[in-house]
Amino acid sequence: MTFSFIQLSAVEVGKHLYWKIGNYNVHGQVFLVSWLVIFILVAISFIGTRNLQKIPGQLQNFMEFILEFLQDIAKNQIGEHDYRSWVPYISTIFLFILGSNWAGALIPWKLISLPEGELAAPTNDINTTVALSLLTSFAYFYAGINKNGLGYFLRYIEPTPVLLPINILEDFTKPLSLSFRLFGNILADELVVSVFTLLVPIIIPLPVMILGLFASSIQALIFSTLSAAYIGEAIEGHGEH
């Protein structure tokens, strides 16, 4: 006895377009969309700041609002005295993740055919989110050592040396939690939208996409806020307890 099934929808997961450069495989999808996001962010920054006025126009007002918002994230998490030097990093992390998430949610990448895989948000690839998380790890190690010297490592034996293994393990779990939280949420959102679009192409995907934009913004805020919090914690260091 044979049965025939009707395929209602199909979503490809894990298929990617790779470019061979020497001995390395470059993830073509992530590369293309990442540089598109970077180009858009740089273009908006250049256009919004090339002709600053004492009485700002709408675009300059918008740019100043974004800057104040990002400064507040760094200031609230890192502290009044140390936050200024970290505003560029926190701002870059937030804007890149937000741009990447929105690129995946707003641009109809499925209309562009690739030899293998499909274009999507760079943040729905685990390699991108792990790289961003490792940058944050390097940043808070640098912040702690730069502010407290080798005394920064005394925090591993506080409040008691018994906690040394747990405190070391915490430094491994921080980037893991950051990367998997961002990757999981963005991948899940794109899969949900894809399935709804294939099943009911017109009506249902719209509110899901709007919810996805909101969730994408929240994920960018969470990642940048936690990054700033980890840096602030490292700067606080041993001598401030």
For each of the chain's 241 residues, which pLDDT tens digit applies?
Answer: 444 434 333 444 556 666 677 777 777 778 888 899 999 999 998 888 888 777 778 888 888 899 999 999 999 998 888 888 999 999 999 999 999 988 877 776 666 666 666 677 888 888 889 999 999 999 988 988 888 888 777 777 777 777 788 878 887 788 888 888 888 777 777 776 666 666 665 565 667 677 778 888 888 999 999 999 999 888 885 544 4
Picking from 221, 233, 219, the residue whose alpha carbon sits closest to that of residue 90 is 221
| Domain boundaries, given as residue ranges, for the chain | 18-240
Residue linked to tokens 């009485």: 55
Check if the beta carbon of residue 15 is closer than 8 Å to that of residue 29. Answer: no
User: What is the spatial distance between Cα 63 and Cα 48, in angstroms, rounded to a whole number?
Assistant: 7
